[in-house]
Amino acid sequence: MKLNQRQIDVFNAVMVNKSITAAAAKLGSSQPTLSREIREIENRLGFDLFLRFGKRLTPTEQAILLHEVVLRSFVGLDEIGRAASAIRTHNAANFRIASIPAYAESVIPRVIQRFLKGRHALHFSIHSHEEPSLRHEMTTQVFDLVLAENLFERDSATGTTVCAGDMVCVLPQGHPLASRAELAPADFAGQPFIYFSQNDPYRHKLDVVFHEAAVARDYAAETTTAASVCAMVAAGVGISVINPLTAASHTGGPVVFRRLSVPVPYELSLWHPARSNRLAQIKRFITFLEEEAAGMADELDQHLRP
């Protein structure tokens, strides 16, 4: 039942392009050839991948499930490609950072601007990943600095944390709760709430806060980034609680921020190789990051004052 790489590529092309004709053009093949290959794949697997209505193909439930597995394998190949790219560009002027999107979209640009103003001869390469994949990126040893929400334990690494203040409530302009300077967990009872993903560490911390207050929030949506939460809040999907760095980057926009009566401290976790020929630049970057995070906390504090 094992498929070869050509068969996997054909199946993926048809699923992604949603037609055999488009898939054939993508692969530089012909429609009859791909039709025959799809039939061969189905015969090998022992089940139909597509329902055929004339020239139109509709993926079966089995095809959709199989494609999820195929996509994961392509993601793995993409990770190898990213690592190879980082290794290829390894030179004294290239400073490579792996970070969760929240930092790549908020504090990191400010830190890089500090370097540019100081005319430091560095070229920055920022790779944005969700938290789970950062563990993998750390094992590649091709990044000078990794910024995450969890401090991972590694024998060959040095880790530190930077406090960025407390998490804050985010609401759309004009929301009834926006008239208050501070919100308690009870204020969220029955409110449509935008959650972070199940593996997000701060989702679990917030869940504890609301559980201890015996408050049930209404599930509105779930997403992986704080910027996405802000976009959903602005669209009226619901309300939420996010990190202070993203909040500081979104003040003055279509959303407003309020204090949460139960402090939930937010920390950045930083990791870098214990041995590196860029330790001086790494230390300078961390110093700038600490200063910028403190400055953003002050900016947000001014915004939060009644």
Domain boundaries, the chain: 5-77, 87-164+267-304, 165-264
> Tokens at residue 232, please?
């959903």
Place of tokens 């002050």: 298
Q: Strand 182-183 vs strand 192-196: parallel, antiparallel, or unpaired?
A: unpaired
* Residue ranges in the chain assigned as alpha helix (H): 5-17, 20-27, 31-45, 61-88, 101-104, 107-117, 131-140, 201-212, 226-234, 244-249, 279-304
276 SS3 class: coil
Q: Which residue has the higher pLDDT, 74 or 263?
A: 263
What DSSP state is assigned to residue 144?
S
Phi–psi pair at 13, nearest 5 degrees: -60, -40
Stated as kind and residue range, the H or E segment containing 123 is: strand 123-128
pLDDT at 141 over 60: no
Please report the pLDDT score of residue 249 as a whole number.
94
**Lowest-confidence range among 12-26, 115-129, 148-162?**
148-162
> Tokens at residue 175, please?
């929301």
pLDDT at 88 over 80: no
Domain spanning 165-264: CATH 3.40.50.720: no
What DSSP state is assigned to residue 179?
G
Task: Tell me the pLDDT tens digit for each residue of 7-29.
Answer: 888 888 888 888 888 888 888 98
Tell me the pLDDT band of 74, cut-offs 50, 70 and 90. low
Stated as kind and residue range, the H or E segment containing 267 is: strand 265-273
CA distances from 223 to 220, 237, 246 (A): 10, 12, 15
38-55: buried (b, 16+ CB within 10 Å) or exposed (e) per residue? Answer: beebbeebeeebbeeeee
The alpha carbon torsion through 168, 171, 173, 177 (nearest 10 deg) reads -100
Place of tokens 């003040």: 251
Average pLDDT over residues 76-84: 58
d(C-alpha 145, C-alpha 232), whole Å:
31
Please report the pLDDT score of residue 8 as a whole number.
87
d(C-alpha 119, C-alpha 133), whole Å:
32
Q: Which residue has the higher pLDDT, 130 or 72?
A: 130
Task: Provide the mean pLDDT of the chain.
Answer: 85
Q: Hey, which of 51-55, 115-119, 209-213 has the most confident mean pLDDT?
A: 209-213
Q: Which residues pair with 126 in a beta bridge?
A: 97
Q: Strand 50-53 vs strand 56-59: parallel, antiparallel, or unpaired?
A: antiparallel
87-164+267-304 and 165-264, same CATH topology: yes
Q: Hey, which of 112-116, 118-122, 186-190, 195-199 has the most confident mean pLDDT?
A: 186-190
Q: What is the pTM of this model?
A: 0.68
Q: How crowded is residue 134: how many other Cβ atoms within 10 Å of its Cβ?
A: 22
Q: Is the torsion defined by CA of 285, 291, 297, 300 positive or negative?
A: negative
Domain spanning 5-77: CATH 1.10.3720.10: no
pLDDT at 212 over 70: yes
> Tokens at residue 147, please?
């910024």
Homologous superfamily, domain 87-164+267-304: Periplasmic binding protein-like II (3.40.190.10)
Stated as kind and residue range, the H or E segment containing 163 is: strand 157-166
Task: Provide, rounded to the nearest whole percent, the portion of the chain with pLDDT above 70.
Answer: 84
d(C-alpha 21, C-alpha 9), whole Å:
15
Q: Report residue 287 CA to chain centroid gap.
A: 24
